[in-house]
Amino acid sequence: MIENNLARPAISVDLKKYRIRIHKNTLHFMGDPDYVLLLVNPEERTLAILQSNRSEPRAHHIKAASISNKPFELYSRSLVKSLRDVCSTWQDNQSYRMYGEIISNEGVAQFRMDESVLVNWAKS
């Protein structure tokens, strides 16, 4: 099971630290893009990572050195709270991991928020 999950794209959302962590294997599966956009579809309860470029003002720059050994992390209180509102089963002060799929012809990694897994039991 663990080996199977290592072969899948993953993203984590930490509701305590307001952190979104894009796992390095996800970026590798996407071809190690320099810029990514995070897209949320509240009706379908999906989160997607889209390859982007410098001209998109909402794109996040991924430094080449950061993807070699570490996941890419970004912090956004408003975005994490919005994700929490979309996925009402998520509990405050917890972290959730989602495994997804790569849609290679579109340069997208897509995750279903309702299939997230609790990854720790944070203390309140």
pLDDT tens, residue by residue, 34-87: 999 999 999 999 999 999 999 999 999 997 655 567 889 999 999 999 999 999
The chain-wide mean pLDDT, for the chain, equals 88
Range of the domain at 113: 2-118
pLDDT given at position 124: 47
pLDDT given at position 1: 46
Q: Is residue 35 part of a domain?
A: yes
User: Is the Cβ–Cβ distance between 37 and 52 less than 8 Å?
Assistant: yes
Domain count, the chain: 1
pLDDT given at position 85: 94
Q: Is residue 124 part of a domain?
A: no
The residue ranking higher by pLDDT, 58 or 7, is 58
Q: What is the mean pLDDT of residues 77-101?
A: 95
Q: Is residue 123 part of a domain?
A: no
What is the CB-side half-sphere exposure of residue 7 using CA atoms within 13 A? 4
Q: What angle do CA 89, 83, 4 make, to 5 degrees?
A: 75
Q: Which of 111, 120, 85, 90 is nearest to 29 (CA)?
A: 111
Q: How confident is the model at residue 4 (pLDDT cuts 50, 70, 90)?
A: low
Q: Is residue 75 part of a domain?
A: yes
Distances (CA, A) of 5 to 19, 51, 61, 83, 99: 21, 22, 26, 23, 7
